[in-house]
């Protein structure tokens, strides 16, 4: 806009200078043209005076012609002056018009400048308004987005809480069911254990009776064997006059211990209930401490199978087999107070 104003002002100045140049040229031309005319006029006036003095010899018609010629010259001079004045007036008018045009152009340029500045201010205002509107829109968008996020988080939190409550309720129900099932199983196991114990006691009682009978029978047989052996030794001693050597007594003790060890081991294994679904390769060894009457004093797991169920079944078999058969001979019974049994055999 500033460049346009400068161009308009330059054009107006050029116009003014051109008009002034024209006026000056017209004035100078008029001056130089008027000088010869004045000279001519003076000469002419002198000539006229001479001619007037000689008019006595000139007829009136010549005077009239001369007068008419002078009038024409005067009129021509008047026309010349009028033309010069008109040219001066025209130049003045052109200069004034150029000045007015220049001032108008200046005013127009100033107005255009002011309009441009106003337009710039309006554009800046519009820009600020647009930026303000954009900032307000962004603020509203952020507020709406924050509200949306807050609502989404609230819903998500409500869903998480509801899901947690559902899970907690499901876990409570499952835990209650597990407890009820565990109680049912425990009750069933207690009943089964009671039945097993009752059955084991019945079996144990029957076995004790049978064992008592076997023991009585064994004792009768042993007594008969002792008597027979005594009679035999007496007969031999009587026949050869010697007593039984210590080696024979030691051999008899070893045989008796091996015999009763076998009986005790078989009786305990007879009470062993092998747990289902266990590997057949599992083995265990226990040390059993007995009283002189065959009661269980302690059980020590000297080689575990690595399976608790298997090891417990071995211990239960030992307890179910009690009381175990023991020899009447105190020396033999003392040798059987601690025995080791392998499962399976």
Q: What is the per-residue pLDDT across 262-283, written as a single tens digit (0 to 9) for each? A: 999 999 999 998 888 777 788 9
How many angstroms separate the CA atoms of 78 and 41, rounded? Answer: 13
- Closest listed residue to residue 1, CA positions, set 127, 119, 122, 124: 119
pLDDT of residue 191: 83
Assess whether pLDDT exceeds 90 at residue 196: no
Q: Is the pLDDT of residue 227 over 70?
A: no
Contact indicator for 294, 322 with CB cutoff of 8 Å? yes
SS3 of residue 293 by DSSP: coil
Q: Tokens 């039945």 belong to which residue?
A: 195
Please report the pLDDT score of residue 222 as a whole number: 42
Tokens encoding 326:
């023991």
Residue 171: exposure state from Cβ atoms within 10 A (0-12, 13-18, ≥19):
exposed
CA distance 11 to 17: 10
For residue 147, what are its two tokens?
A: 């509200």
Cα separation, 331 vs 85, in Å, equals 179
**Exposure letters 73-92 (e unless 16+ CB within 10 A, then b):** eeeeeeeeeeebeebeebbe
Residue 174 confidence class, pLDDT cut points 50, 70, 90: confident
What is the pLDDT, as a whole number, of residue 217? 55
Nearest Cα residue to 229 out of 250, 214, 251, 244: 244
At 115, which helix (H) or strand (E)?
helix 60-240
Backbone angles phi, psi at 250, to 5 degrees: -65, -40
pTM score, whole prediction: 0.32
Q: What is the CATH number of domain 246-345?
A: 3.30.1150.10
Mean pLDDT of 86-103: 89
Helix (H) / strand (E) element for 289: namely: strand 284-290
Task: Kindly report which listed range (3-7, 71-75, 162-166) carries the lowest average pLDDT score.
Answer: 3-7
pLDDT tens for 134-166 read 999 899 999 999 989 989 999 999 989 989 989
pLDDT at residue 24, rounded to an integer: 59
Q: Which residue has the higher pLDDT, 280 or 184?
A: 184
Contacts of 55 by beta carbon, 8 Å cutoff, 6+ apart: 63
- In this predicted structure, the answer to whether residue 43 has a pLDDT above a threshold of 70 is no
Region of poorest pLDDT, from 1-10, 65-74, 108-117, 128-137 = 1-10
Helix (H, G, I), strand (E, B) or coil at 340: strand
In the structure encoding, which two tokens stand for residue 9, read together? Answer: 């002002």
Spatial contact of 268 and 317, defined as CB atoms under 8 Å apart? yes
- Rounded to an integer, the average pLDDT of 215-229 is 49
C-alpha span between 332 and 326 (Å, rounded): 8
Instruction: Report the pLDDT value the prediction gives residue 266, as an integer from 0 to 100.
Output: 92
Range in 42-46, 212-216, 250-254 the model is least confident about? 42-46
Kindly list the domain boundaries of the chain, sorted by start residue.
Answer: 2-51+64-142, 246-345
Q: Is the pLDDT of residue 208 over 50?
A: yes
Query: Residue 324 corresponds to which tokens in the numbers above?
Result: 């175990």
Reported as type and span, the H/E element at residue 245 is none
What the block records as the tokens of 12 is: 């107006």
The pLDDT of residue 211: 52
Report pLDDT for 187. Answer: 84
């Amino acid at each position: 806009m500033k460049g346009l104003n400068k161009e308009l002002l330059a054009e107006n100045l050029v116009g003014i200078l051109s008009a002034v140049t024209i006026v000056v040229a017209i004035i100078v031309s008029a001056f130089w043209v008027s000088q010869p005319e004045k000279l001519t006029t003076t000469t002419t006036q002198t000539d006229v005076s001479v001619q007037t003095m000689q008019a006595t010899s000139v007829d009136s018609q010549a005077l009239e012609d001369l007068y008419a010629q002078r009038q024409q010259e005067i009129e021509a001079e008047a026309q010349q002056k009028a033309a010069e004045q008109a040219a001066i007036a025209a130049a003045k008018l052109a200069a004034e018009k150029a000045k007015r045009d220049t001032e108008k152009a200046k005013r127009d340029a100033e107005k255009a400048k002011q309009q441009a500045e106003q337009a710039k201010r309006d554009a800046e205002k519009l820009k600020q308004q647009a930026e303000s509107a954009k900032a307000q829109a962004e603020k509203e968008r952020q507020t709406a987005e924050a509200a949306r996020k807050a609502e989404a988080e609230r819903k998500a939190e409500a869903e998480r809480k509801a899901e947690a409550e559902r899970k907690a309720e499901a876990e409570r129900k499952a835990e209650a069911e597990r407890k009820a099932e565990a109680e049912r199983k425990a009750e069933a196991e207690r009943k089964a254990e009671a039945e097993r114990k009752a059955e084991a006691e019945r079996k144990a009682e029957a076995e004790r009776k049978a064992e008592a009978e076997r023991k009585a029978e064994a004792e009768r047989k042993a007594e008969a064997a002792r008597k027979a052996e005594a009679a035999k030794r007496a007969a031999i001693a009587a026949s050869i006059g010697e007593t039984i050597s210590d080696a024979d007594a030691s051999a008899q003790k070893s045989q008796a211990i091996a015999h009763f060890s076998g009986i005790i081991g078989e009786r305990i294994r007879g009470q062993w209930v092998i747990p289902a679904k266990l590997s057949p390769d599992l083995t265990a060894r226990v040390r059993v401490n007995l009283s002189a009457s065959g009661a269980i004093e302690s059980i020590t797991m000297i080689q575990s199978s690595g399976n608790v169920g298997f090891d417990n079944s071995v211990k239960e078999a030992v307890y179910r087999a009690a009381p175990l058969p023991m020899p009447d001979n105190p020396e033999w019974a003392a040798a059987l107070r601690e025995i080791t049994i392998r499962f399976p055999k």
